[in-house]
Structure 1
């Protein structure tokens, strides 16, 4: 069982990922860092609390993450896609926050779990970047780091060039790609193929006795309706963040390539991620090498999603 520290900005997609992680027999969530992104940090805390309450897992600490990008500019949220508070049309505004910790809790968890800990970033990379910048950081003591972010040789979703998590704070992403090494990036190249259909979700909502079954259908119905605007004819929606978690726990069903990753912060190319994909890439001195997931077994991923979400614990 993998012990993971989640960094999230739920949002419907992240909410499905949190539910998946809570139900997976291969994952033990030891903490959830809530930050800005799809929604504000306050809504991220509320939405995460709501899901933990449903699962009766209030023992999992929630951690205050970043509230804005490193540029100091106001954050860009995506309430138009995720709903008034980020959970579609669900009314969760009265959810009580419990067990909230300051940012330093991240370092305490790293000290406690060390090489048994995997950090999973499903949001803009601000909180992750800050862990590298702290003078007393022990981030290099963790086992591994996975990031949902980037778009290589494909269009973006926040702009024609950039994927949303990188676009949300390109300066933070640049810090992570220049200070981190061996990080696994799960980009749009693969995650946009992980389309969970409305029929799959409707089946789960009727068949599973998991604590989340009542909210699955309304969340996906709302999310799919928003995706229709950018992907006409889609029946469901790609669950980008679930893709990462399935990759994390099913290591024989994806392929990676090791490359130096670069992030643009200029206005015209903000959030663009690029790498040298030639057979013999030209290496930049002192720039670390990270991993990029290039392909996945989509059928296995969807079967894994249905199996995990159809469980009750």
Structure 2
């Protein structure tokens, strides 16, 4: 069984991702850490606690992490996509969790969970990478305890928050560059290029909405998100980016990856936050890249949608 930690900024698609992990017997969800991103840290932390309560997971420790990027101020939140509270204005309708926050910050809890684990741990960072960059910079000794990072972020062929940049990487490009380019921990990057292709339609949502309490709640609190994607996609449906990444953490190989070097633009111009994937043959590269990572660019899309739908509906 895979031991899993989710680092998250809930967010609608983060809520689907957390619920997916809770519904998957292949993984033991041993912790959730929160970070600023879609909304502010206080809201992302409350949302993580309440989604876990919805899923009946009082046992999973939760710790709050970074409330700002490493270097530059965070330009803006994603309230126009996720709602002012991150959950379409419905966060307070979710059950409160009797178990509150762990008595430590996110990085401290990550260190403890990693050091106490008898086997390597998979971490799924599905928000800005600030917590993970801080962890690896301050505690390099835990690298050997991380099996891999399954990161939702980046866009090899363009972005969503700008023409060049995807939201998670754009929110803290310096942290993203440290994790994706400068570190040695194995990474599977799940970018927009694939997650957008895995969009689910209105019929998929309608089926999930009649599957039980968790499915009904997820669909009900997707209102603002669904409205946004009706405009972005031109049809009824949503893109549950983060759940696609967690699907790979739960079932390794459900996404097909290509190894390549990547870089992140940390400049202050219009390409800030761009994720640059070098898909050229290594024999024609002029310089030696620091390292290569696995980038998920393809999958059996129907299989991914079916897997997400069945798990979130409670069918294993």
TM-score (norm 1): 0.92
Report the CA distance between 1:250 and its aligned residue.
3.1
CA distance in 2, matches of 1:312, 1:250: 15
Contact 1:58–1:99 at 8 Å: present in 2 too? no
The Cα offsets for residues 148-202 of structure 1, whole Å up to 9 and x where unpaired, read as 11111x2210100111111010010111121134211011111111111222122
How big is the shift at 1:109?
Answer: 0.5
Is the CA contact 2:151–2:189 (under 8 Å) kept in the aligned structure 1?
Answer: yes
Give the conservation status (yes or no) of the 8 Å contact 2:12–2:225: yes
The runs of at least 4 consecutive aligned structure 1 residues that moved more than 6 Å come to none
1:147 alignment partner in structure 2 = 151
Look up the SS of the partner of 1:133 in the other structure.
Answer: helix
* Residues matched between the structures, number: 309
The aligned residue for residue 12 of structure 2 is 12
Instruction: Give runs of aligned pairs for residues 265-280 of structure 1, distance below 5 A.
Output: 265-268=266-269, 269-280=271-282
SS where residue 151 of structure 1 aligns?
coil
Whole-angstrom CA distance in 1 between matches of 2:202 and 2:8: 24
Matches within 5 A, 1:1-313: 1-74=1-74, 76-92=76-92, 95=96, 98-100=100-102, 101-103=104-106, 104-113=108-117, 115-135=119-139, 137-152=141-156, 154-176=157-179, 177-206=181-210, 208-209=211-212, 211-231=213-233, 233-268=234-269, 269-280=271-282, 282=285, 284-285=287-288, 287-311=290-314
User: C-alpha distance in 1, partners of 2:221/2:116?
Assistant: 35
Counterparts in 2 of 1:77 and 1:95: CA distance versus 1, 3 Å: farther
Any gaps of 5 or more consecutive residues in structure 2? none
- Which runs of no fewer than 5 residues in structure 1 stay unpaired? none
Alignment RMSD: 2.1
Q: How far apart are the structure 1 equivalents of 2:290 and 2:185? A: 9
CA distance in 1, matches of 2:64, 2:299: 33
